[in-house]
Structure 1
Amino acid sequence: MIVAMLGICIIWVVTNQIMTAVEKKKYLLVGQLVEVDGRDIHVYTKGKGQNTIVLMSGLRTAAPALDFKPLVNELSKNNNVVVVEPLGYGWSDVMSKRRTVENIVSEIREALQKAVC
């Protein structure tokens, strides 16, 4: 029973990695990649306006730039809208560094500062 469960977990992880690689090649990059700690973070910007709205993904939003597209299209009519895909999401690289709130916030701040928004 344990071997079967372990086998299923391994198959799931391998399948997930393969599908991620396939989908990154299938869908064209819609924003820009910004280097943070030697890894690329995807930042998508749309619209113009005095206000800048930054959209952040929640848990299980695999590709925020694509998932938020209808919202971005609507908000960008009068605002500058920025979608940041943290490391491990969307077109951003995967990071082996510990995923603490402090690390994630630091990476996002650096990406926003480096991005051309």
Structure 2
Amino acid sequence: MMANTEATNSTHNNSNDQTPFFELIEEYDFPQPKRGDIVRGEILRIDSDVVFIDIGSKRDAMVPHQEIAQLDDEFLRTLSTGDMVPVYITRTPVGSEQLIVSLERGLQELD
């Protein structure tokens, strides 16, 4: 009976020593991009009307559907998940808003 209690206490203590992953993410001080910054990011997902990009911030960045509709179809077909691309920060998030970037301006600014 004593061994069973020790095993229970050991398991209980181990779970208290671990900080939940989401708490660690909240505590981490991610770099905050500013409007006008040009940063490189990795394409996470390409949908027909939006592209999501990881720029190393707390939130993923989004190229909005308005810009996607204006980009050249041939250029869009060359993009793949995992590609590293330059983006221009057009709007930083406030509260729960999305981080908005421009792929076109990011490419133009590097030329």
Superposition TM-score, scaled by structure 2 size? 0.30
- Structure number with greater CO (CA < 8 Å, separation at least 6) is 1
Look at both structures and tell me which one has the larger radius of gyration over its CA atoms.
2
TM-score by length of 1: 0.29
